[in-house]
Amino acid sequence: MIPRYSRPEMVAIWEPETRFRIWFEIEAHAMDALAELGVVPKDAAKAVWERGKFEVERIDEIEREVKHDVIAFLTNLAEHVGDEARFVHQGMTSSDVLDTCLGVQMARAADLMIADVDALLVVLKRRAYEFKDTPTIGRSHGIHAEPTTFGLKLAQAYAEFARCRARLVMARDEVATCAISGAVGTFANIDPRVEEHVAKAMGLSVEPVSTQVIPRDRHAMYFATLGVVAGCVERLATEVRHLQRTEVLEAEEYFSPGQKGSSAMPHKRNPVLTENLTGLARLVRGYVTPALENVALWHERDISHSSVERMIGPDATVTLDFALVRLTNVMDKLVVYPDRMLANLNKMGGLVHSQRILLALTQAGVDREGAYRLVQRNAMRVWESDGKLQLLDLLKADADVTAALPVAQIEALFDLGHHMKHVDTIFGRVFGKS
Amino acid sequence: MIPRYSRPEMVAIWEPETRFRIWFEIEAHAMDALAELGVVPKDAAKAVWERGKFEVERIDEIEREVKHDVIAFLTNLAEHVGDEARFVHQGMTSSDVLDTCLGVQMARAADLMIADVDALLVVLKRRAYEFKDTPTIGRSHGIHAEPTTFGLKLAQAYAEFARCRARLVMARDEVATCAISGAVGTFANIDPRVEEHVAKAMGLSVEPVSTQVIPRDRHAMYFATLGVVAGCVERLATEVRHLQRTEVLEAEEYFSPGQKGSSAMPHKRNPVLTENLTGLARLVRGYVTPALENVALWHERDISHSSVERMIGPDATVTLDFALVRLTNVMDKLVVYPDRMLANLNKMGGLVHSQRILLALTQAGVDREGAYRLVQRNAMRVWESDGKLQLLDLLKADADVTAALPVAQIEALFDLGHHMKHVDTIFGRVFGKS
Amino acid sequence: MIPRYSRPEMVAIWEPETRFRIWFEIEAHAMDALAELGVVPKDAAKAVWERGKFEVERIDEIEREVKHDVIAFLTNLAEHVGDEARFVHQGMTSSDVLDTCLGVQMARAADLMIADVDALLVVLKRRAYEFKDTPTIGRSHGIHAEPTTFGLKLAQAYAEFARCRARLVMARDEVATCAISGAVGTFANIDPRVEEHVAKAMGLSVEPVSTQVIPRDRHAMYFATLGVVAGCVERLATEVRHLQRTEVLEAEEYFSPGQKGSSAMPHKRNPVLTENLTGLARLVRGYVTPALENVALWHERDISHSSVERMIGPDATVTLDFALVRLTNVMDKLVVYPDRMLANLNKMGGLVHSQRILLALTQAGVDREGAYRLVQRNAMRVWESDGKLQLLDLLKADADVTAALPVAQIEALFDLGHHMKHVDTIFGRVFGKS
Amino acid sequence: MIPRYSRPEMVAIWEPETRFRIWFEIEAHAMDALAELGVVPKDAAKAVWERGKFEVERIDEIEREVKHDVIAFLTNLAEHVGDEARFVHQGMTSSDVLDTCLGVQMARAADLMIADVDALLVVLKRRAYEFKDTPTIGRSHGIHAEPTTFGLKLAQAYAEFARCRARLVMARDEVATCAISGAVGTFANIDPRVEEHVAKAMGLSVEPVSTQVIPRDRHAMYFATLGVVAGCVERLATEVRHLQRTEVLEAEEYFSPGQKGSSAMPHKRNPVLTENLTGLARLVRGYVTPALENVALWHERDISHSSVERMIGPDATVTLDFALVRLTNVMDKLVVYPDRMLANLNKMGGLVHSQRILLALTQAGVDREGAYRLVQRNAMRVWESDGKLQLLDLLKADADVTAALPVAQIEALFDLGHHMKHVDTIFGRVFGKS
């Protein structure tokens, strides 16, 4: 997590101030429940809410001595609350606080990322409709295939991120649980109703059965989901990078007037934002495996997961949050060149219509293998002419072809509109009937 | 995928015979829809169903020549169907068949794994109830913490695999889609109703917007989910390995009379099955990243994903399926030693009850820091005596302790039953009220 | 490991026949040493070499009963050797045989891959010299930067794979060790001189200190190295994929006359081999992490590494071997279009020479910021003209530029030869002086 | 990278101050070479060394405007140097500075880690000799196998880290290269002798052929090596964790008097440092794959690697450096309990000697299968007695055994010294003859 790739909203979730505030709320809510159950005096619970405070620096200072963060926090809290502080944390274990807090943080991080995706979806939908009927060549293997529209490309991205949104909601549910169950999860010294109360107060569900900790398969699923979302970011970023390359140049990242592309080549406008997104995706993906390795803790817990989470908790969420917002900005301001799209589409001498000819020949009674040969022999000449010959001309001059298909029909098969006739259907599927 | 770690049911899903059978069904159902729409003759559709056949070896033979598997399949099919075969695959692209088939295979593989988890859940529930009240020591950091029951450990595993089941259902939904949308997903040469018909016939949902292929974020999510499930397998396997180690020996993998543990040390009974499961988990986890890297295909598709899926499709599902079944067998037959559990629990001279003392001292008015010191000074002596001193004895002899707590109360605090009073509550949460 | 991506030479290394043959040699050489030391009768050692045989199927049959592969092998061996067989494996443990055998297999696999790289280097060198002076545009961020030569691109690949060769030699050394040290590595029941003898006979070095097994950091380093080599394969494959895309088309994978690119679009020539290499690289990379996770075995060994190695041992080496040979074939037959390279280079209206102008202006006394502005304002006009304006014309018409640089000098700065003047120097560094 | 897991020495390498200082040195050395070649005035080179300065905050300020870090640096530098600054960076491209700087940083980071390993080796050697003859049970599968010594365990660790040292030296060589080769690596505007001069001055070797950047296979190999070293850290950490678990307790992390193990259980001494090391190893391992994905940049470079390196450059080196130093401290102060080792060793009723009996029976003429059965039937009774029966007693009472072996010989076979007779040999191999 470095400032360059961070947004303050997400960074704030992981700051000590926030973490200790959540700890405080967990302890204070637990006190309420304990007081309600008659385990601690109601005045003590009240005192915690009223006088409870903490200072990050003081906690750090105490921790350097006792080498235990929760004890340090409780000690600092006691300095403010006074005598009633001895009832705080009663029957609880450190992990009750730590893990429930982590759940809150990860849920909030998920909320931010869900909001990020929502903003991205708004942009993608707007731009998809903007270019709904803008013809562009569809490519497989980097080779021209058949026409599509730029709006369809964006609709595809929209559908992908709509799935990501649903996945993030699932991932949030996985981790938004509360455990206040004591040293090995037996509630030996604390009533399960305390857990229920704190869960409700903190907006979490109850962890049905914990050990000392909340089981780490939940967190693994969360980080794995971030890895998938990062893959989707990379995909759209890669698309933009391809579109911007010199020979294609169908779209460009917005390039502000004052910006310098290169210290040496002043003419350059590089897709640096989407290249950066590609790198960020690698990072988020890299955090998945450590999270998966965290699942198999020893017995009721070991603490090996902790250092991993201290790093990848912030790193993965901050990086993905930043990437989603950056991607949204890129797509929002993406400079699109429909003329270049059309020029590129026409560059192949009409080869992109070859499948339609193939089909028409088959429907006109030519067997599939024969039709394939007829199309291929003309297509190969066009291909080798490097843009000088047109498939339409060659087909009209090929007696075997015209024997099967009248010239007028051949010409009609080169109509670009043909490829767009189901665009509305697909948009309807993706965006709903409007 | 090697026979040693494979079950025939899962292997069968990935065999050429199965794959071509699914291809055939996709093509034949598509013909039905095309015939219904009047695009191809109804007799042709009928002919395909009636005379359609294929031979794996013949397809391989043709593929060696044309270097294209779908063309090879269609050629072989045409050898059986005859002239009407020219209508087959009309307006479709190879990926329509390949990707829809992969969706069917991955959905079937998910079904098998869901069934595996169901069988595991049955075993875990049975054994959890069997040992519901069997006391055992709970451990954090590998160090004795507080008592729990062996049933609770198994309930934890049950809850974890119940979550895995839900995740597998979600993963199945992700990939169970059908795309029959042509070369770049525009339905240029095929009516979207064909896709709808085939989807329904094959038990899939319609892919709302495809390119040439079904987007790979779906498959990534699927394999990522398998990685998480593998992590859960590893966790339970690791637990068994720990319980079986010589010094602990609270449980053992079943060891059949004829089995030899070691060529050199005939007395050895090694937890080889759970060690194996640990290794298998590493393998399944290793397949997650390639799947994540598959998402960012170029433009409307490149074929880099294909080799990855040919390998990890079978490898990940076959390995995880095998692991789940093996884990079920291990847990089903696990030899459990309650006496040893109790002996281990008592080995620490009662230190495992220290937190209860701590709490009682606090509740009796000793401040938290003071209580901590009182308990720790006695606990340290017990610890250093290596099992010779008992905490109860020392506490009763410590005047500062008895000043706060009457001896009878101290003795009551050492009651093991105290740790089990919420076991029923937890079981109710996990298994439902029975 | 599937036939489609396998070469028989590498597959053979991992076949049971090979493995048991290596086991036999290890046992027989150990017998020689034991006989020399007087531990076993010399006749027994002789008998093993003379009558020693095994049958894979018989071993499998025995293993199904005893569930232990080395015991099964020894039992089968004894069926052939007779009574003297009781001296075989004396004082050894199964892992002595298994791990030493794995070392032999991994070393042989490395030898094959080193030979693969050697063949690739020959091809890359030949083609690098073939295109040493062929101008092509160098690109950063996918955007035209400055001219280079296609030979330089290939020299870069050569240098990269020369490094890979050195890495593979290191990786081979890591794993080519022999351990015959007994159950926990103490040589309790076997003399260390046996290990020395077997090591020498099998072409291995002695493992200085083993536990029950050879430490797995060695294997981890080996597989990590394969992952790096796979990354280099991916890089060169990605270059070819880019060069072949329709708008660039500076080079193409060789396309045999009978080959069909697409079932639907007969004109297509897709870079399917290099896309495939990209996928294979993902697979090999995916095997790195399981190998790294294998290092931390418990105490003197657990067997979790075994299943991982049974899979990734063959999978990683077979896949990378196949990829290297495929890459060699691609580069050997790569169809290169120098005319298209030149045409693309010129497409930008001379912008690729902008840095030279910038430098000349600076050297003529214009401050850096001023020079940058002068170049950029002309460059931007060329860029926006989409190939219609030439930078040379604009500069000559820009009074501020000509005030600093005479027209003749400006023209000289557009000389392409300027960019090639150090090609020989670089070739000398990479290939040595010839 | 977070303070909790960082050492200032390594953090300093990655701080902006250090990075800009290295940039400055690269530019200034390049000026020297350019002046020597007569490309720039000698006074200018002198001026850069004399007046050259920079301020991190000022650079940041400029970068926010121009969005280019090297231009920002050069601008700030020019503010100090004055007019002669226009000769700085002549003919160079940003990556010449950035990549050469990264090489310097990674080499320095490697130096620190090599020093860390050296310190670890000193500790391991000292403690290996300290416990050279301390008997302890060797375990396979977590099950008692045969005796070994605690010194041998540490010698194994020593040998492993000696290999790691050699690997780190190799990794350092991989990345310690210098490229000053211009926009696409052709030296179009800069003489290769500048590169040679800067390389020498900065303690680097010359990159034989670069593109715009230094090829990333070098960095990939570096990070992959860190992943392997992390695996070795994890292995030794795991050993300590096992030794410290309650039932084993053969060694313990040093526990300072003021330290609190648990907020709830004051008696606990947890192996938190080695658990932490396990987590840190997961992190370092997780950085390997992003580094491997960085290799395949597009054409002469894209900038996707940059964000990855900005994160994992510091994160991987800081984390591994911290881990190595922490491991050294753990091993330095490790509290070892030889008595407990011996007690554990004897816990199995002598079963650990079973292989010696097996061998002796074979050598006495009993066939291998028969000997195996004889030993196993007695061993099984011992095993099932849970430490109550002794193997020696049973064997002496087994007529079939005594028929083959005299009682005195059986007793001699239980001598522990037998297992230590080659310890000196192994120590000689690992540490050299002393």
pLDDT (tens digit, 9 = 90+) per residue, D352-404? Answer: 888 889 889 988 989 878 998 899 889 888 878 877 899 999 999 999 999 99
- Report, in this order, helix, strand and coil percent for chain B, each rounded to 5: 70, 5, 30
Choosing from A68, A140, A256, A262, the catalytic residue is A262
Name residues whose C-beta falls within 8 Å of residue D200's C-beta, 6 or more positions apart in sequence: none
Amino acid identity of A140? S
Residue of C nearest to B312 (CA): C283
- Report, in this order, helix, strand and coil percent for chain A, each rounded to 5: 65, 5, 30
pLDDT of A18 > 60? The answer is yes
Q: What is the pLDDT of residue C259?
A: 63
Do C198 and C28 form a contact (C-beta atoms < 8 A)? Answer: no
Do D180 and C218 form a contact (C-beta atoms < 8 A)? Answer: no
Q: How far is B145 from chain C (nearest CA, A)?
A: 23
CA distance to A270, A335, B270, C129, C370, per residue, from A256 (Å)? 12, 12, 67, 43, 19
Closest partner residue to A355 (CB to CB) among C137, C241, C264 is C264
Fold classified for A9-90: Fumarase C; Chain B, domain 1 (1.10.275)
C302 chain-A contacts, CB cut-off 8 A: none
pLDDT digits (tens, 9 = 90+) for C207-264: 999 999 999 999 999 999 999 999 999 999 999 999 999 999 999 999 876 666 554 4
User: How many interface pairs between B and C have CB atoms less than 8 angstroms apart?
Assistant: 148
Q: What is the pLDDT of residue D351?
A: 87
Across chain C, mean pLDDT equals: 94
Half-sphere exposure of D85 (CA within 13 A, CB side): 20
Confidence of residue C266 (pLDDT cuts 50, 70, 90): low
Q: What is the pLDDT of residue B262?
A: 57
Residue showing tokens 């933009």: A240
Beta bridge partners of C135: C149
Beta bridge partners of D205: D177
User: Phi, psi (5° rounding) for residue B207?
Assistant: -75, 115
The distance in angstroms from the start CA to the end CA of chain B is 42
Residues of B annotated catalytic, as ranges: 141, 262
Closest partner residue to B267 (CB to CB) among D142, D269, D380 is D380
Q: What is the pLDDT of residue B110?
A: 98
Q: Give the integer Cα–Cα distance in Å for C410 and D173.
A: 43
pLDDT digits (tens, 9 = 90+) for D237-276: 999 999 999 999 999 999 876 666 554 455 578 999 999 9
pLDDT digits (tens, 9 = 90+) for B44-97: 999 999 999 999 999 999 999 888 899 999 999 999 999 999 899 988 999 999
Share of chain A above pLDDT 70, in %: 97
Do D121 and D432 form a contact (C-beta atoms < 8 A)? Answer: no
Residue D258 to residue A70, Cβ atoms within 8 A: no
For the domain spanning C1-90, the CATH number is 1.10.275.10
Half-sphere exposure of C284 (CA within 13 A, CB side): 31
Q: Give the integer Cα–Cα distance in Å for D73 and A200.
A: 53
Residue C93 to residue B263, Cβ atoms within 8 A: yes
Q: What is the pLDDT of residue D259?
A: 63
Alpha helices in A202-261 (DSSP H): 217-244
Q: Which CATH superfamily is domain C351-413 in?
A: Fumarase/aspartase (C-terminal domain) (1.10.40.30)
What is the per-residue DSSP string for A123-185?
HHHHHHHHTTT-EEEEEETTEEEEEEEHHHHHHHHHHHHHHHHHHHHHHHHHH-EE----TTS
Parallel, antiparallel or unpaired: strands D205-206 and D177-178:
parallel
Neighboring chains of B (3 or more beta-carbon pairs < 8 A): A, C, D
What is the per-residue DSSP string for C214-281?
--THHHHHHHHHHHHHHHHHHHHHHHHHHHHSTTT-SEE----TT--S-SS-TT----HHHHHHHHHH
User: How many interface pairs between B and D have CB atoms less than 8 angstroms apart?
Assistant: 126
pLDDT digits (tens, 9 = 90+) for A375-402: 988 988 887 887 789 999 999 999 999 9
Tokens for B431, please give them.
């298994």
Residue B242 to residue D142, Cβ atoms within 8 A: yes
Residues lower than pLDDT 50 in chain B = 263-264
Buried-state track C219-245, b at ≥16 Cβ within 10 A, e below 16: bbbbbbbbbbbbbbbbbbbbbbbbbbb
Q: What is the pLDDT of residue D99?
A: 98
Name residues whose C-beta falls within 8 Å of residue C111's C-beta, 6 or more positions apart in sequence: C172
Q: What is the pLDDT of residue D261?
A: 57
Share of chain C above pLDDT 90, in %: 84
Residue D208 to residue C235, Cβ atoms within 8 A: no
D270 chain-A contacts, CB cut-off 8 A: 303
Residue of D nearest to C208 (CA): D429
Q: Give the integer Cα–Cα distance in Å for D377 and D358.
A: 12
Q: What is the distance, to the nearest Å, from the Cα of residue B273 to the centroid of all Cα atoms in its chain?
A: 16
Neighboring chains of A (3 or more beta-carbon pairs < 8 A): B, C, D
Q: What is the pLDDT of residue B215?
A: 98
Do C347 and C387 form a contact (C-beta atoms < 8 A)? Answer: yes
> How many beta carbons lie within 10 A of that of residue C258, not counting itself?
8
Residue showing tokens 């049950």: B158
Average pLDDT over residues C154-164: 98
Give the Cα-Cα-Cα angle D300, D303, D305 (nearest 5 degrees): 105
Confidence of residue C379 (pLDDT cuts 50, 70, 90): confident
The residue ranges of every structural domain in chain A are 9-90, 93-342, 351-413
Residue showing tokens 């028969």: D370
Q: What is the pLDDT of residue B383?
A: 79
pLDDT of C267 > 60? The answer is no
Q: Give the integer Cα–Cα distance in Å for A311 and A305.
A: 10
Residue D379 to residue B266, Cβ atoms within 8 A: yes
Tokens for C412, please give them.
């000289």
DSSP D287: T
D89 chain-A contacts, CB cut-off 8 A: 263
Q: What is the pLDDT of residue A432?
A: 93
3-state secondary structure (DSSP) of residue B286: helix
Residues lower than pLDDT 50 in chain D = 263-264
Confidence of residue A427 (pLDDT cuts 50, 70, 90): very high
What is the per-residue DSSP string for C96-135?
HHHHHHHHHHHHHHHHHHHHHHHHHHHHHHHHHHHTTT-E
Confidence of residue A266 (pLDDT cuts 50, 70, 90): low
Residue of C nearest to B88 (CA): C263
Q: Give the integer Cα–Cα distance in Å for A168 and A346.
A: 41
Q: Residue C101's closest CA among C44, C163, C42, C22?
A: C22
Q: Residue C164's closest CA among C328, C315, C335?
A: C328
pLDDT of A67 > 60? The answer is yes
Amino acid identity of C288? V
Q: Residue C333's closest CA among C248, C253, C243?
A: C253
Residues of D annotated catalytic, as ranges: 141, 262
3-state secondary structure (DSSP) of residue C368: helix
Name residues whose C-beta falls within 8 Å of residue C124's C-beta, 6 or more positions apart in sequence: C154, C155, C157, C158, C161, C331
CA dihedral (D259, D262, D267, D272) positive or negative: negative
pLDDT of C380 > 90? The answer is no
Average pLDDT over residues C338-349: 93
Q: Give the integer Cα–Cα distance in Å for B300 and B210.
A: 9
CATH class for domain D93-342?
mainly alpha
Residue of D nearest to A301 (CA): D275
Average pLDDT over residues C159-182: 98
pTM: 0.96
Q: Give the integer Cα–Cα distance in Å for D190 and C356.
A: 11
Q: Residue C303's closest CA among D136, B268, D223?
A: B268
ipTM score: 0.95
Residue of C nearest to B294 (CA): C279
Q: Give the integer Cα–Cα distance in Å for B369 and B329.
A: 49
pLDDT of A203 > 60? The answer is yes
Assign residue A203 a region (left: φ > 0; alpha: ψ between -120 and 50; beta: otherwise): left
Q: How far is A2 from chain D (nearest CA, A)?
A: 7
Neighboring chains of C (3 or more beta-carbon pairs < 8 A): A, B, D
3-state secondary structure (DSSP) of residue D183: coil
Name residues whose C-beta falls within 8 Å of residue C178's C-beta, 6 or more positions apart in sequence: C100, C103, C195, C198, C199, C202, C204, C205, C206, C207
- Report, in this order, helix, strand and coil percent for chain C, each rounded to 5: 65, 5, 30
What is the per-residue DSSP string for A6-39?
--HHHHHHTSHHHHHHHHHHHHHHHHHHHHHTTS
How many residues appear in chain B?
434
Q: What is the pLDDT of residue D258?
A: 62
The architecture CATH gives domain B92-342: Up-down Bundle (1.20)
Buried-state track B62-90, b at ≥16 Cβ within 10 A, e below 16: bbeeeebbbbbbbbbbbebbeebbbbbbb
Confidence of residue C5 (pLDDT cuts 50, 70, 90): very high
Buried-state track A124-159, b at ≥16 Cβ within 10 A, e below 16: bbebbeebbebbbbbbbbbbbbbbbbbbbbbbbbbb
Q: What is the pLDDT of residue C265?
A: 60
Q: How far is D302 from chain A (nearest CA, A)?
A: 7
